[in-house]
């Protein structure tokens, strides 16, 4: 396995309180709009952000524009990594279910923009979660 190349990152700012961090496919796609080389696009079927590795220059404008700071880089890749939903059949969801955890599932994106509320940096999510658990 290559965890640093995974499109889901798990942060554990508080012991016993893991925070999954991943792309929620914002309805207005600020990362796509911010890309100066047009390396990012939206898959019309799944709504996922797609990265064209041949166009990405690693300028990280997409990270700056993303409310959750989700796009990431990793050693060995010359482009940003963003969840592409495995073209409609997310492997993480399939494997999580296969091994019996059932912690992940695919849901239809709501039509309203309220989903963007969930697009936050992991530190902020962990802080909010920690307050709920420990306070």
Q: Is the pLDDT of residue 114 over 80?
A: no
Q: pTM (2 decimals)?
A: 0.81
Considering the domain 3-13+22-134 in this protein, what is its CATH number?
Answer: 3.30.70.20
Model confidence at 55, in pLDDT bands (50, 70, 90)? very high
Q: List, for residues 6-32, the tens digit of each pLDDT value.
A: 888 888 888 877 888 888 888 899 999
Instruction: Output 104 or 3, whichever has higher pLDDT.
Output: 104
- Closest to 31 in 3D by CA, of 79, 87, 86: 79
Name 121's Cβ contacts closer than 8 Å, sequence gap at least 6: 68, 69
Phi-psi label, residue 90: left if phi above 0, alpha if psi -120 to 50, beta otherwise: beta
Instruction: Output 61 or 125, whichever has higher pLDDT.
Output: 61
Q: Is the pLDDT of residue 56 over 90?
A: yes
Instruction: Return the pLDDT at 133.
Output: 78
Task: Please name every residue paired with 49 in a beta bridge, in sequence order, or none if there are none.
Answer: 42
Q: How far is CA 124 from CA 21, 23, 75, 96, 111, in A?
A: 11, 15, 26, 26, 25
Per domain, the residue ranges of the chain are 3-13+22-134
- Return phi, psi of residue 71, to 5°: -55, 140
Pair of tokens at residue 58: 């690693």
């Amino acid at each position: 396995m290559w965890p640093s190349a995974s499109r889901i990152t798990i942060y554990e700012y508080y012991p016993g309180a893991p925070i999954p961090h991943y792309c929620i496919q914002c309805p207005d796609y600020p990362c796509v709009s911010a890309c100066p080389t047009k390396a990012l696009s939206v898959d019309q079927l799944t709504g996922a952000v797609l990265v064209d590795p041949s166009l990405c220059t690693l300028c990280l404008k997409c990270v700056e524009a993303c409310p959750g700071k989700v796009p990431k880089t990793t050693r060995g890749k010359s482009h940003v990594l963003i969840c592409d939903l495995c073209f409609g059949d997310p492997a993480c969801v399939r494997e999580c279910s296969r091994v019996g955890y059932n912690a992940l599932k695919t849901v239809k994106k709501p039509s309203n923009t309220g989903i963007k509320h969930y697009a936050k940096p992991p530190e902020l999510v962990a802080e909010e979660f920690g307050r709920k658990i420990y306070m």
